[in-house]
Structure 1
Amino acid sequence: MRLDRRLVWAMGVMAAASIVWLLVTMGLLVMALAADQRALVLGQLAPQLWLIGLTWLMGLVVIAATLRWLFRRYASAPARLLEQTRVLLAAEQAAPMQHQGTHETQELAQVVFQLASQRDQLRREMASQVAQASLGIQQEKDRLAALMAELTQSVVVCNLDGRILLYNNRARLQFRTLSNVPALAGGAELVGIGRSIYAVFDRALVAHAIDSIQQRLLRGAANPSAQFVTSTAAGQLLKVQMAPVRTSNTEDANNALSGFVLMLDNVTRAFEEEKRRDQMLHTLTQGCRASLAGMKTALATLEASELTGEPRARQRQILHDEMNSMAQRITDLDKQASHGQSTRWPLEEMLGADVLLVAQQRIQKHCQRTVSLEQLDDSLWLRVDSYSLIQALVYLSARLVDEFDVRFLRLRLLSENGVAKLDLIWTDQVMSTETVMIWQMDSMQMGAESTRLSVRDVVERHGGELIFARERVRHEAFFRFALPQVNVQDLPETATLGHGDSRPEYYDFDLFQSTDQTSALDDRRLNELAYTVFDTETTGLNPSEGDEIIQIGATRCVNGKLLRQESFEQLVNPGRLIPAATIPIHGITQEMVRGQPRITEVLPAFHRFASDTVLVAHNAAFDMKFLQLQEAATGLKFDQPVLDTLLLSAVVHANHEEHRLEVLAERFNITVLGRHTALGDALVTAEVWLRLIPLLQAMGITTLRQAREAAQKTYYARLRY
């Protein structure tokens, strides 16, 4: 039990004062006696000095016990009452105050509890009135929730930083199929409120789609959208359509976007089916060719037979006609199948001017060269995969700059005979046809970015053609992309509604206000951070002596809210026997962990679930020691900041001696479910943490750095495992 420093100082002062008093008394007594009396007294007392010292010590113990009782009753009671009052102030509902102190402080505690109860009653009445007034809004939210739940389309809403604000159950199932470990985390490591969508999609790809929408907004489009197809780390092929979330009542198109909506469609199976169909056609083609060879052999036999005259001529003509017809059909079928394999990629209708504007910006940024536009046809529409096409333009520009030091580039777009011609033009540099062929066949690489696609792949994807040509009179050369052109009549009708009428908006999310933080994580406010609150159940209490994790549970807190539906819970096979003495505590038996994955399989999924968040645990040093001991085996390091509710409770409740999790739950009036299960303890710890935040802020501890520094100054920070 930790003693208060003030009590230790008081006892030290009393001990020193009693010694001084004893010495002064004995000195005065000796001075008042005559010499012979003094010698007689000292002679009698000297053998009994140990008794005097023992009496002094016993008296000191009695004084210390009395001081401690008085201190706890009169000095510490107001401080404990202050801490309990702060808890009531931060709690959603007041819990009875079990205050131990003087009669006056006990009565004061009852009065404070009565005031808190009256506050709770006023809150309930106010909430009832607000609920009544907000019934219409709630009905709209319920309709939105029902619609999102029943949609067969996967929908994810993000802010401009790529943080997920909303997703439906279909999207959660979609992300589960994208997970590398669907059996463990179920996609929870990829999708969640406040998580980054860039855990799934390439940031450059999303940025390109946003740029495309911005260009269309600048041109006054009422309902701009963009779409792209991408492959994930798990090998899935996703078709993504992006629509903007626009700020209402703004006329500045550059500032109109506050986020975006992604509608996802997994086209992996469809793509594979098409691939299998093409393979079947290819096999059929090869089989027919074999049959043709047999027919030719039969024809040769017929020619060598004794059949003569008109019958022989007629049979020969029939065989020749059939063979020619079959050969033509097979050739046409093979050509169509080959063309389909090389060009089957979802393309989007896009205004040609938008493609050139985005390409101009990308080339100037990457190559640090001036790029001008000429002969820009504002009415020309293209059917393109704009991302890969612009990649090809940037790649070719980069090679021209790096290998020939080209200083000026131009982009030109025109239409001839129903074909769009996009030209990349430069001056005064000559290259060989062999160099052009190499550039077309090489995989595109631009600085740190690289792709398996070549320029020829991009051209074939569009069903187009790449031409290298020179204009000797002007001393110019250019790459020409011949691309499919879209007639305006073939475009889908676009709505003519204004910004405010495009579609109803049912969202009002706080995270729409967040932007990329330029300051370090330590300097961010506690209520702005995302947290992963976790707990582990283990075979014992000695991680350094062979004890292992048998269960991990975690949940997430974002924007001051506990997201119970975004949880992680997994049993772990420890590879050793679970001691019988520990089973009554956590309830996990050897049978339950048999067949479960080992910790080296579970930690990668948990590491991804906890990425980009601050870790929170109760007595975090214990749990973190188990994770750190697995670094060598997994190659994973949990290097994000860690907060400990045990230490921070000691900061907030410095005058309380108990900081166990169940005591904190009782103190904060938190219902405990599933105690000593990993997920159950994680949920309780999350509830405790959310109640500690306002108490820390009231003490002036508002940032992550301040919370970590305050925790390290507590007595419990000395604990080591």
Structure 2
Amino acid sequence: MRLTRRLILVLLAPGLALALWLAVTLLLVGLVTGGSGIAVAPQVVQPVAMVLLSLWLAALAAGAWVMHRLWRVHVLGPAKLLNAARIMTSDMSVTSLPLSEDAAPMLRLVGREFEHMAAQRDELRMDMARLVDEASRSVSDQRDQLAALMAELSQAVIVCNRDGSVLLYNGQARDLVRRLAGQGFENGSLIGLGRSVHDLLDKAAIAHALETVEGRMARGVAAAAAVAQFVTTARGGHLLRVSLSPIRRSDHGEGEGGPVTGYVLLIDDITLDQQQSSRRDEALLRLTESSRAAIASMQAALEMLDYRDLAPEDRDRFLAIVRDEVAAMGERIGAIAEGELQTRATRWPLNDMLGGDLIAAAVRRLGETTGTPITTAPVEDDLWLRIDSFGLIQALDFLARQLRDLQDDPVLWLRLTRGNQRALLDLGWVGRAGAGAPDAARLTALPSLAVETDGQMLGASAREIVERHGGEIWLERGRGIGGEPAQPFFRMLLPLAAVDIAEPAAQIGSRPEFYDFDLFTAGAGSASDDQPLAGLTFTVFDCETTGLDPSGGDEIIQIGAVRIVNGRILTGETIDQLVDPQRSIPEAGIPIHHIHPHMVRGQPTIAQALPVFHRFAQGSVLVGHNVAFDMRFLKLKEAATGCVFDHPVLDTLLLSSVVHPAEESHSLEAIAARLGITIGGRHTALGDARATAEVFTRLIPLLARQGVTTLGEAREASGRSQFARLRY
């Protein structure tokens, strides 16, 4: 138990009372005896002074023990019962009260009644949850369908309220922003729920598009048709084509639309298309200019050839001019055609696919259409391709059916292997013993024939389908599957996919949240003292460091952060960044944070990582556990990085001491245990940040029960905590 000023006074109260009683007794003796009793008192008292002192000390100790016992039973006991009851009423998952055995019997009975009421509450809650689940099942299905639809859209989609705060975005939008922002913002610090879309797109362009949309609707155009499009530039010179559709509030009665409350943005990165178009225009311009001169030369040469008396050597010279110009023009046109073919190949939609899945799909298709046995070779588990799987399987199916017609009872085989820079997809066959080999000329011509499937022509040959992938196809001769003798087979070169398979991070909660329609009305909240805590945006963070002395040279080696918007922890919007401290990491700290020197080697320095975190936390309240320690590190780096962290700051350590003043420990583990939170990834920056975020969201309703509802009230209450005096 922590000694406080109040507890010390309580323990000393019996001794002080005895001392006061003795002083009053001596004073009364002096008054009664007129002072003569005082004169003889030392002579009378001195022989038994030590006995009296011992008795006084014993009485003092006994009284202190009694007062301590009464304090625990009648002061701390009710205080802990009050804290536990507040947790139980604010957190439905807590159903028992942790009362000590020395609590007063009446308190234990009150606690049992609380637990009984909690059990009844849980029964009612379960019944209500069942009814709500039955009533909202269709809404849940629609929400899941929306989430699935958003995930499958090829376009980047962002939904905003009228002020530009992001309410929804899909994975394509997140990937687009990462590409636009560059390597320094790989954690998505430019997009997130509650953030402003104006950090990504020009505010004036969006405002003009909104004016255009509202003008069209004012003229009677339906909201679904009142769409505005514009092109704008983004970071890194990327060119974006944006389509803006309005969202209206439909509470004005049938046939009457409400005001525009938000808008949907469909975004395409047309940078590559624009570059290809520019290159095509430049090529055509060069062809035009060069062709004009070539045509003039040929025209002059042809005019000279019309002369009948032209000398033979001159005639040959002018004919050579015509031949050379025609050949040069043919080369130029051929180069442009080849470049256009390459452009068409790169623009064809390709998707990542696991090699084993392609072979399995091809075997099913070929088995259904050819009716012949098909053997395959094992495929590497991590072999990923970037292909048009539909077109490729159609090409394989066409070649297989042609082989069946050319060879009696063939056994087809498929093999997919990894080459140096491409994947090798082979389609071969083994003929029946004694059967003749197919005609080589017909085999060679097969890839150039138009693919026919289900009686319809696809309009492309197998060669063109492979060339869409930037690959090649030819008739190869080599070993088949299982060491079969040398025989011809078709070989295709296909592109490998650059797939980055990262280890899944342990998350508190379910899948990442990319939407929150409550922000239509709630907004993101501004970080001012008069704003309610429930309506603010928070950045909960933690730092792992080389040591505990920020002023003595210790450095940050990891930053972890997670955002809280509208009372929800956004597990999909996080920072988890290792930092190169450019100094050694003490061996004593490695068992705690598990960060070894080789893990931070080559990682961004604090000068590179801190601006990313600063932007991530823009416009929010910083939250941490014992956050004064972390803030000291950030403050010391302000001059070197130019990042000034002047955000409002809240500390879960201080807030816990405000909510639970009778508790002995306010460590992160102790608070989490009291609130029924399971901590994962302890002593990692992101793990601690997520645990702190869980603790903070549980503390907000407990603070509200004590009248602490706004940011200013929370900061004022924190300042009164005894832990607020800690300095680093």
Q: Quick check: TM above 0.5?
A: yes
Q: Which residue of 2 is the match for residue 476 of structure 1?
A: none
Are residues 24 and 605 of structure 1, via their aligned partners in 2, closer, same or farther at CA, if it must alter by over 3 Å?
same
What SS does the corresponding residue of 2:575 show, helix, strand or coil?
Answer: strand
By how many angstroms is 1:511 displaced?
1.1
**8 Å CA contact retained: 2:29, 2:37:** no
Q: Which residue of 1 is the match for residue 719 of structure 2?
A: 712
**8 Å CA contact retained: 2:247, 2:264:** yes
Looking at structure 2, the residues matched to 670 and 530 of structure 1 have their Cα atoms a distance apart, in angstroms, of: 22
What SS does the corresponding residue of 2:539 show, helix, strand or coil?
Answer: strand
Q: Which residue of 1 is the match for residue 23 of structure 2?
A: 23
Alignment of 1:199-348 (within 5 A): 199-222=199-222, 223-250=225-252, 255-284=258-287
* 1:698 aligned residue (688, 705, 711): 705
Looking at structure 1, the residues matched to 727 and 637 of structure 2 have their Cα atoms a distance apart, in angstroms, of: 18
Q: Which residue of 1 is the match for residue 577 of structure 2?
A: 570
Looking at structure 1, the residues matched to 214 and 282 of structure 2 have their Cα atoms a distance apart, in angstroms, of: 41
Are residues 289 and 14 of structure 1, via their aligned partners in 2, closer, same or farther at CA, if it must alter by over 3 Å?
farther
What SS does the corresponding residue of 1:119 show, helix, strand or coil?
Answer: helix
By how many angstroms is 1:695 displaced?
1.2
Aligned residues: 537
Alignment of 1:155-170 (within 5 A): 155-170=157-172
Alignment of 1:189-200 (within 5 A): 189-200=189-200
Q: Which residue of 2 is the match for residue 589 of structure 1?
A: 596
Looking at structure 1, the residues matched to 516 and 633 of structure 2 have their Cα atoms a distance apart, in angstroms, of: 41
Are residues 30 and 543 of structure 1, via their aligned partners in 2, closer, same or farther at CA, if it must alter by over 3 Å?
same
Structure 1 counterpart of 2:588, one-letter code: A
* 2:518 aligned residue (487, 510, 521): 510
Q: Which residue of 2 is the match for residue 526 of structure 1?
A: 533
* 2:628 aligned residue (616, 621, 624): 621
By how many angstroms is 1:87 displaced?
0.6
Q: Which residue of 2 is the match for residue 93 of structure 1?
A: 93
Looking at structure 2, the residues matched to 57 and 279 of structure 1 have their Cα atoms a distance apart, in angstroms, of: 103
Are residues 117 and 4 of structure 1, via their aligned partners in 2, closer, same or farther at CA, if it must alter by over 3 Å?
farther
Are residues 680 and 281 of structure 1, via their aligned partners in 2, closer, same or farther at CA, if it must alter by over 3 Å?
same
Residues 1:82 and 2:90 are matched in the alignment = no
Looking at structure 1, the residues matched to 212 and 54 of structure 2 have their Cα atoms a distance apart, in angstroms, of: 90
**8 Å CA contact retained: 2:15, 2:63:** no
Residues 1:662 and 2:664 are matched in the alignment = no
By how many angstroms is 1:669 displaced?
0.6
By how many angstroms is 1:34 displaced?
11
Higher relative contact order (CA 8 A, sep 6+): 1
User: Could you list the runs of 5+ residues in structure 2 that have no partner in the other structure?
Assistant: 328-514
Looking at structure 2, the residues matched to 544 and 316 of structure 1 have their Cα atoms a distance apart, in angstroms, of: 87
35-44 or 252-261, which moves further after superposition? 35-44
By how many angstroms is 1:29 displaced?
5.2
By how many angstroms is 1:74 displaced?
1.0
Deviations 1:285-304 (A, max 9, x none): 665678689889x97xx99x
**8 Å CA contact retained: 1:94, 1:117:** no
Alignment of 1:55-204 (within 5 A): 56-57=56-57, 59-100=59-100, 101-181=103-183, 185-204=185-204
Deviations 1:527-570 (A, max 9, x none): 11111111111111111111111111111111111111211111
By how many angstroms is 1:109 displaced?
1.6
Structure 2 counterpart of 1:576, one-letter code: R
Structure 2 counterpart of 1:677, one-letter code: T
Looking at structure 1, the residues matched to 7 and 557 of structure 2 have their Cα atoms a distance apart, in angstroms, of: 43
Looking at structure 2, the residues matched to 720 and 7 of structure 1 have their Cα atoms a distance apart, in angstroms, of: 25
Looking at structure 2, the residues matched to 620 and 95 of structure 1 have their Cα atoms a distance apart, in angstroms, of: 31
Q: TM-score, normalised by structure 2?
A: 0.67
Looking at structure 1, the residues matched to 148 and 40 of structure 2 have their Cα atoms a distance apart, in angstroms, of: 102
Looking at structure 1, the residues matched to 214 and 37 of structure 2 have their Cα atoms a distance apart, in angstroms, of: 108
664-673 or 28-37, which moves further after superposition? 28-37
Q: Which residue of 2 is the match for residue 685 of structure 1?
A: 692
Looking at structure 2, the residues matched to 126 and 171 of structure 1 have their Cα atoms a distance apart, in angstroms, of: 37
688-697 or 259-268, which moves further after superposition? 688-697
Are residues 49 and 96 of structure 1, via their aligned partners in 2, closer, same or farther at CA, if it must alter by over 3 Å?
same
CA RMSD of aligned residues (A): 3.7
Deviations 1:251-274 (A, max 9, x none): 798952111000010111111222
Looking at structure 1, the residues matched to 527 and 559 of structure 2 have their Cα atoms a distance apart, in angstroms, of: 29
* 1:648 aligned residue (646, 652, 655): 655
By how many angstroms is 1:674 displaced?
0.9
Looking at structure 2, the residues matched to 515 and 688 of structure 1 have their Cα atoms a distance apart, in angstroms, of: 23
**8 Å CA contact retained: 1:94, 1:113:** no
Looking at structure 2, the residues matched to 590 and 698 of structure 1 have their Cα atoms a distance apart, in angstroms, of: 47
Looking at structure 2, the residues matched to 720 and 47 of structure 1 have their Cα atoms a distance apart, in angstroms, of: 53
* 1:546 aligned residue (553, 563, 571): 553
Q: TM-score, normalised by structure 1?
A: 0.68
What SS does the corresponding residue of 2:261 show, helix, strand or coil?
Answer: strand
Looking at structure 2, the residues matched to 246 and 36 of structure 1 have their Cα atoms a distance apart, in angstroms, of: 99
**8 Å CA contact retained: 2:540, 2:563:** yes
By how many angstroms is 1:106 displaced?
2.0
Looking at structure 2, the residues matched to 18 and 65 of structure 1 have their Cα atoms a distance apart, in angstroms, of: 15
* 2:568 aligned residue (561, 564, 582): 561
By how many angstroms is 1:121 displaced?
2.9
What SS does the corresponding residue of 1:234 show, helix, strand or coil?
Answer: helix
Looking at structure 1, the residues matched to 586 and 324 of structure 2 have their Cα atoms a distance apart, in angstroms, of: 80
Looking at structure 2, the residues matched to 289 and 134 of structure 1 have their Cα atoms a distance apart, in angstroms, of: 72
What SS does the corresponding residue of 2:114 show, helix, strand or coil?
Answer: helix
Deviations 1:629-684 (A, max 9, x none): 11111101111111111111111111212111111111111111111111111111
By how many angstroms is 1:186 displaced?
2.4
Are residues 188 and 113 of structure 1, via their aligned partners in 2, closer, same or farther at CA, if it must alter by over 3 Å?
farther
**8 Å CA contact retained: 1:674, 1:681:** yes
By how many angstroms is 1:709 displaced?
0.8
Deviations 1:399-440 (A, max 9, x none): xxxxxxxxxxxxxxxxxxxxxxxxxxxxxxxxxxxxxxxxxx
**8 Å CA contact retained: 2:635, 2:644:** yes
User: Could you list the runs of 5+ residues in structure 1 that have no partner in the other structure?
Assistant: 327-506
**8 Å CA contact retained: 1:574, 1:598:** yes
**8 Å CA contact retained: 1:214, 1:254:** no
Q: Which residue of 2 is the match for residue 358 of structure 1?
A: none
Looking at structure 2, the residues matched to 632 and 55 of structure 1 have their Cα atoms a distance apart, in angstroms, of: 65
Looking at structure 1, the residues matched to 584 and 61 of structure 2 have their Cα atoms a distance apart, in angstroms, of: 49
**8 Å CA contact retained: 1:88, 1:95:** yes
By how many angstroms is 1:236 displaced?
1.6
By how many angstroms is 1:316 displaced?
12
Structure 1 counterpart of 2:686, one-letter code: L
**8 Å CA contact retained: 2:541, 2:561:** yes
What SS does the corresponding residue of 2:576 show, helix, strand or coil?
Answer: strand
